[in-house]
Structure 1
């Protein structure tokens, strides 16, 4: 009798027995696995040999981010940024139903994609739709590297058709890109023409405003800039003269005040004489001193009562009176000069004030005129920019039929070997699938088999430990006699055997 095993030993025993059970089942049903594999491989071979061979042709197309800069205008020819999003969009365009439909329609590919029976039952539009969908399934667009090159692959049962369709689709894409460029150039030219016309109208209106303003303010013959310069020059000139005149006025005023202060002094020693520049006064004074000396000599020689002395004295007195008269004339002349200077200063101040008033009148006109000039300059700049852009855009439109950012790179080569069906791949897949299915079936059989075949099965089924094991009689125990009597008499004839003990 066997002793009860520990839980840990029991789990290990269960795992070992189960694993061996599955291995035993695999060895037992190996014929089933072999049969499934042979049948699957045979089926794969038959299926592959009955499939229509498919050929694949690949053409390449290069998509640049901008057009060739034939005019040297730089950014004017940018098509789009060289971003991944742009090339993703172009890949979608190449694979789109619309572009494939254009390829089918423009190259008359319906007979190559549909059978005669299919075409008889459908209208032309339905034929085009079905042919497009069928080609869409057989057409693949790849962009493996960021090198601006797309690869268009087409599968067909005819290698010639595969090559023809691949090249035709690339050509359709080129035409589509040129058409977009022409449409874009045309729309842009129309928009620019409208803006240019509007800018030209505004420029002419601004020029007319300036002319009307000049005519209204008498500025046609002499521009406002010239008037402003003239007024500023006059203000500066008359202000300078006025400052000089006022300085002279101050000088004359001081001289007159000094003359009034010294007017009672002796005419011969009066300092007022030194303030003037009177030649006649100097002549009279010279004569006076000459005659005075002679008078002194006559008085010394003849005496004061002598007639010659008296006559000489009268002559000296007359000269003295003449000197006094000249002094008065000098003072009066200085006063007249001062009065004249005051009048001059008043006139100069009036001129300065007049030109200042003119400057004040010009100031608002200048502000308005400058605003009109700035407005005209803005319209003029916009007009020139739009004219240059319109000219470039018109040249771009005329060149759009011969230039494009899309061009076919390599024509498709005529395929010589089919890409499908692949007998090696099909046979390998069939064998692997048969092996997996066979193993799965065997494991399922073992899993669903609930019969007791071992001590472990009995322990698990009864949920109790094993108390003993009844041995099974083998051919060796029966000495090769496998009849009922020998089996029944075995214990009687072998009372000390382990089987008899159980």
Structure 2
């Protein structure tokens, strides 16, 4: 009979557990999915005291730091940096001309970096003698220097100055005013007077350093121009020597000539040959004019003499004779050449007649023609002489021009070097003038004043920072604790970890005697166990199993209370049920019933067959139960024997349901042994109790023993703490209701 009961077909369907679990999840309304913001809120509520404590600790630390921190005073001087160009070389600019916003930005970034430069800090330290200043040393935690330091060596003084400059660099902030050419120089020290003094000195030293850089730039330009002047002068002198030497070798002589109409016009050098050619050409032109005039005068005199001589019979005869001879000569030239003897004879006769005519005319014209002819011959002779001299001079000039090509090259080199020298000399003079002017593009707009109060520490800023740090640290601790905490916190995790249907959730109670809550029909505990009993009715095809046991991972998770409460719930709906305490090592049923641990389970397992004499009843509810009995030395052996099967069978003859309160699984062999003897196992998990790996290990042991796991019950669950409310108190506020309601 017991074997048939153990192998009841209504429970031997392990595959149905998944379907039952799914139906249980759907019926119970426990969805594993939860909005992420609620998940974070749930974690925050779980660790709220850690979060609150961390934030409070950080705020307290921030307040303490603010009270104990050294007071810092900030003084600010404001300067203006103009974007100007310093003229260095005439029209040449000392800085690169503007090409747009990029150059503008580079200029101001350069100025800001110069303000932050280490050399600037060293200038301020030296100008204020901060290495020996008692106020500075006291402000930065030092001591006033002894009198021996007044004769420090240069190396020691330089080292002290560098140390001071390093501290100053950390105490100074350069803050450009957006959208302007203004720059704020802020100095923060523990001494307000010292802050103002350093800020003003910083601005003044920046101006002086800027002037020195400009002067050094002009000095460099002067040195550069001096070198260039010396080099150019040497080149010019060498070129002049080469030109003169070449002119001497080639016999080239030149003279400087200037334009008389323009005194400012530069003089032009010409060779003597060219000058002579010009003069001879002018004389030739005059001689030609004179010769033409003499020729005209001769023609006029001759014409007059011819007119006088035309009436002479002898002249007429000679001219007639000349005409006849010319006619004969023309006829011969048609046939013969001029060298033909008869033609030559005729030509001689014609010339003799011309002489005769001329002689006759001279005799007739008189002395006027002779004078005109003499003047003409003299003018012609002078013209021919000058023309000959011009031709010779022109030939000499052409030869000289050919020899002057190299001379011209040397001349141009001399002129180029002279122009370079003159330009460099002019620029050198301008640099000397610009270097002495001392223009500056930096000006102090506002001098630093003594600060009226400390700029640091600021209570509100520090508290806000402490709050942010506290929030970040609390979030980090919460994440770490949430990752470390592997306990089951809510019904969804209970289902996920156990992979079992959720039979119910038992709310936590402040009452130390939880059984009193169970006995109260109006309590949330009683209602919760009624829900578990209802879920068990749907866990199998035949309803609530006739024999079942409640166990847990470890003790103290509410398995004994759950066993007692399930049996009581069945008893209240008219089912006959009995609770059997099988936790022989740590019995609890007798304490729940409020009686002494008398004869019970251990007695029956040891051989006492009078089971009915061991049954006792709860005085308040008349619920039957059997206590564990005396603690045996071999509990595991007793529970592994067939006597436990006989116990279940004997009780099943008188009761519809037998509920066993089994020992915890972890570390004991009792529960796996009992699990194989009952029709179903209810697994109890305490909220935030056992760790998930221990729960999985315990369930694996039960499954390995062939247990039929009906589902999981989450006990001691605080819905407010876990932000997973189910409204257990809903409908059970009768004790607070007014009469008549």
TM-score, length basis structure 2? 0.49
Shift of 1:168: 0.8
Name the structure 1 match of 2:211: 178
Aligned to 2:696: none
- Separation in 2, partners of 1:497, 1:25: 42
User: In the alignment, what sits opposite 2:483?
Assistant: 447
Q: Partners of 1:210 and 1:22 in 2: how far apart?
A: 99
Q: Which stretch shows the higher mean deviation, 140-149 or 232-241?
A: 232-241
Structure 2: 5+ residue runs without aligned partners? 1-16, 258-268, 292-301, 318-350, 362-372, 508-513, 526-559, 578-655, 658-681, 683-741
Measure how far apart 1:455 and its partner are.
4.0
Map 1:154-303 → 2, pairs under 5 A: 154-204=187-237, 216-219=251-254, 224=270, 227-232=273-278, 234=280, 278=306, 281-285=309-313
CA contact (8 A) 1:40 1:430 kept: yes
- Against the structure 1 CA distance between its residues 210 and 37, is the aligned structure 2 distance closer, same or farther, given a 3 Å change threshold? closer
Q: Give secondary structure in 2 for the equivalent of 1:412.
A: coil
Q: Does 1:407 align with 2:424?
A: no
Partner of 1:311: none
Determine the structure 2 residue equivalent to 1:63: 81
Pairs within 5 Å for 1:126-141:
126-141=159-174
Deviation at 1:391, TM superposition (A): 1.0
2:70, 2:457 within 8 Å by CA — same for their partners in 1? yes
Q: For residues 346 and 287 of structure 1, what CA distance do their matches in structure 2 show?
A: 34
SS in 2 for 1:224: strand
Change (3 A) 1:106 1:209: same
Offset at 1:241?
Answer: 8.2
- In 1, are the aligned partners of 2:495 and 2:502 still within 8 Å (CA)? no
- Retained in 2: the 8 A contact 1:62–1:408? yes
SS in 2 for 1:127: helix
| Structure-2 separation of matches of 1:366 and 1:63 | 60
After superposition, give the CA deviation of every residue in 1:345-371 in whole Å (9 maximum; x if it has no partner). 986774453233122233135545544
> Relative to total residues, which structure has the larger strand share, 1 or 2?
2
Report the equivalent of 1:107: 128
Q: Distance in 2 between matches of 1:468 and 1:372?
A: 118
1:289-319 Cα shifts (integer Å, max 9, x gaps)? 9xxxxxxxxxxxxxxxxxxxxxxxxxxxxxx
Which residue is 2:395 aligned to?
357
Match of 2:422 among 362, 374, 384: 384
Distance 2:182 2:36 in 1: 59
Q: Which position in structure 2 is the counterpart of 1:321?
A: none
Describe the shift of the 1:65–1:332 C-alpha distance in structure 2 as closer, same or farther (beyond 3 A).
farther
User: What is the number of equivalent residue pairs in this alignment?
Assistant: 433
Task: Give per-residue Cα distances to partners, 1:170-203, cap 9 Å, x unaligned.
Answer: 1222222222222222222122123223434444
RMSD: 5.0
Cα distance in 2, alignment partners of residues 359 and 101 from structure 1: 75
Relative contact order, higher structure (CA 8 A, sep 6+): 1
Q: 1:479 aligns with which of 513, 516, 520?
A: 520
Any idea what SS the aligned residue of 1:195 has?
helix
The counterpart of 1:330, out of the listed 357, 368, 373, is 357
Structure 1 Cα separation of the partners of residues 482 and 130 of structure 2: 58
Q: CA deviation at 1:18?
A: 8.3
CA distance in 1, matches of 2:229, 2:35: 94
Q: Does 1:33 align with 2:57?
A: no
For 2:172 and 2:78, how far apart are their aligned partners in 1?
13
C-alpha distance in structure 2 between counterparts of 1:179 and 1:40, whole Å: 52
Q: Residue 175 of structure 2 aligns with which residue?
A: 142
What is the CA distance between 1:286 and its match in structure 2?
Answer: 8.2
Between 164-173 and 88-97, the greater mean CA deviation after superposition: 88-97
Provide the TM-score with structure 1 as the length reference: 0.68
Instruction: Check conservation: 1:61, 1:151, Cα contact below 8 A.
Output: yes
Cα distance in structure 2, aligned partners of 1:161 and 1:88: 28
Match of 2:72 in 1: 54
Alpha-carbon distance between aligned partners in 2 of 1:449 and 1:221, rounded to the nearest angstrom: 111
Contact 1:65 1:79 in 2 (8 A): no
Alpha-carbon distance in 2 for matches of 1:39, 1:172: 47
Q: Which structure has the highest helix share of the two? A: 1
Indicate how the Cα distance of structure 1 residues 467 and 414 shifts in structure 2: closer, same or farther if over 3 A, else same: closer
3-state SS of 1:141 partner: strand
Corresponding residue number in structure 2 for 1:466 = 501
SS of residue matched to 1:416: coil
1:13 paired residue number: 31
| 1:214 CA displacement | 6.6
State the distance in 2 between where 1:469 and 1:193 align: 104
Q: Any conservation in 2 of the 1:54–1:419 contact (CA below 8 Å)?
A: yes
The 8 Å contact of residues 70 and 190 in structure 2, kept in 1 or not, is answered as: yes
Shift of residue 207, structure 1, vs aligned partner = 5.3
1:395 aligns with 2:416: no
